[in-house]
Structure 1
Amino acid sequence: MSSGILLVDKPQGITSHDVVARTRRLAGTRRVGHAGTLDPMATGLLILGVNASTRLLTYVVGLDKEYLATIRLGSTTTTDDAEGDLVNTASPDAVSAASEAAIAAGVHALTGAISQVPSSVSAIKVDGKRAYALVRSGEEVVLKSRPVTVSSFDVLERRDAAGTIDLDVRVVCSSGTYIRALARDLGSALGIGGHLTALRRTRIGPFDIADASRLAELDVAASLLPPAAAASALFPPVALTEAQAVDLGHGKRVDAAGLGDLDEPGPDGLYAAVAPNNHLVGLLRITDGVAKSAVNFPPDEATDAAGGPGA
């Protein structure tokens, strides 16, 4: 099995690791990992790396993300989403009193650079244990707030019912932002409570759900995005000569002047170094006019059934 990146549309009701396990069987290799976990309730874009391309996942995890979600105002749950037990329910009069202006103000306050307390049932580790595991064992968990950026928080539609308001929203945010927490905090600000009832991830950085394969129909070999294409979506590509490709692959430095006109570097000052045969040589960094490989990318290797980078 070749190396590459897979864009998968995760269905509801299974974990991200379930997707990895199925892909391992389909690909015939243990060397499959994923970037950016989705809860079982959530659907949408999950990015997998196969074989050597698992090393590219490091550069995917921190990218900005886009979600479509439904927030239900009027009640809170133990998990801040529909999978938890109901905790509090506001009176129908209080819910119906939530005006468009009040909701808009609450959304605006949660847009931009904000401080967010993650949901207590998140995968964040507390004293070496996952927060959700501690909550399930009966412990009370209070996580520290953390800075996140919500670039866009748009209300697409509002639906009123007896005692509830459902908001369909679109959120673009930095890595580490919890959409469940946005639902919780919006409901709290309005004084009526809120939780998430639906969540779909539609984009991670340059990768879009429109290009993803449904898990039930996944053909790994046909769906693999080659390493050079994946890396070139993450970083500005540099077309190497054969000699430059050999030198960089062997850890030698190359005069940056011989690389032609270059765009501004990508995150961490990196470029995607691509050989004439469209093989990804690696990720290179230029310092003082000299290019050097920061991450070597080996040629496709035989399937490693014994193990490798996992989820």
Structure 2
Amino acid sequence: MTRTSIYHGGLVFRDDHPVSIDQFCRIVTATLEDYGQRVERQSVRDSNTAVVVTSLYMVELTMNARHFSDKAEDRPLGGQCQRLEISMVPADDQYEDRDISELMMVVMLYRMVDICNAESIEWMDPGTVLTVEQFLSAFTNVSPHRVRGCRSRLTPAERFAPVDETLDQIDDHYDIHAKAAEQAHTLSEEETLAMAFRSDDPLDEDYLTDVERAQNDIRRLAVWGMTGMVAILSAPVAASLAAVNLARGEDLRLNTQVLSFTGLVAVLSSTGLLAQIMQNLPI
């Protein structure tokens, strides 16, 4: 088993509004399920650690006290701080999509910021520290339908070093992958035909584009052409097939299978093999 990718996320928050490790664990579970992951195990080991396991990921949460230096400017204004560390480990890099993994980490942190009085965010590396405002502005357009609206937050002063260069790199990174995701939805003619062949549900033409509607007309014409070929081989079978097409819509896969089976029976019957097979059957 290969493990070369470990995704890190961190959250520093004031404990004047206590948040339990179980609440963070539930956010991780909900996010994984939103992105199609089946959660196999969710366990809170103690008040500071929890683990969520799916078939593709293991996410470990660790919460402890945040330690500051003796400098006054490093300390938060009022109250103690807690640090939550998120470590997400793919089971196998071969079956893992790095873009989806990073996106899930973004959504987890978004949702966690919404339930606690966050001070800062650690993104992918403990040394890359962002303020809440910087994090929210950097990822404001990432999968908005997956993330609840976060409350606007005002901090008394900047307590961390500026990371403008890091923010620019993050923005460029997600712009590139957003364009790649849009291009990934463009299917070739062979892929479109394969999807139509495997589909059991008739297409709803109200939601089709002009190009998709034209392709659908071609597929329907091909289906009726195959029905006509079946009629040449066997009129009763073709009549039944036409009734099915009219009742539930033109089904490319069904017509292909019926045409193949009817053609096979016709060939066997014309060569006399079908009669020999029937004689040898223990009927």
Greater RCO (CA < 8 Å, at least 6 residues apart): 1
Higher strand share: 1
Larger Rg: 2
Q: TM-score, normalised by structure 1?
A: 0.21
Higher helix share: 2
